[in-house]
Amino acid sequence: METRVAVLAIIVKDPDSVAALNELLHGYGAYIIGRMGVPYRSRGVNVISVAMDAPADVISALSGKIGRLSGITAKTVYAPENAL
């Protein structure tokens, strides 16, 4: 199965949704290359980036599930297909 490299940009505003977010990320752990989280305390948000190598439908499914969590926004950026 063909995979894509992508980065999920996640902004967490609602700390009550963090457990659900971590559960989702754990479920997709086989596709995650790495992740980095940065708390931005003065703005009351956490910024998380998740690097993935997965089929496009898997990346899209995870992004969609994360985006439906309360107080969390997620966007995905794909590496160009011809760059890999």
Percentage of the chain beyond pLDDT 70 is 98
Q: What is the pLDDT of residue 81?
A: 80
Per DSSP, the residues of 47-68 read EEEEEEEE-HHHHHHHHHHHHT
* Total count of domains within the chain: 1
* Through-space distance between the first and last CA atoms of the chain, rounded to whole angstroms: 15
Q: Per mean pLDDT, which range of 7-16, 47-56, 73-82 is the poorest?
A: 73-82
CATH number for the domain harbouring residue 46: 3.30.70.1150
Q: Detail the DSSP E strand segments found in the chain.
A: 4-12, 32-40, 45-54, 72-78
Contact status, residue 58 vs residue 78, Cβ threshold 8 Å: no
What is the tens place of the pLDDT at every residue in 36-76? 999 999 999 999 999 999 999 999 999 999 999 999 999 99
Quote the domain boundaries for residue 57: 4-83
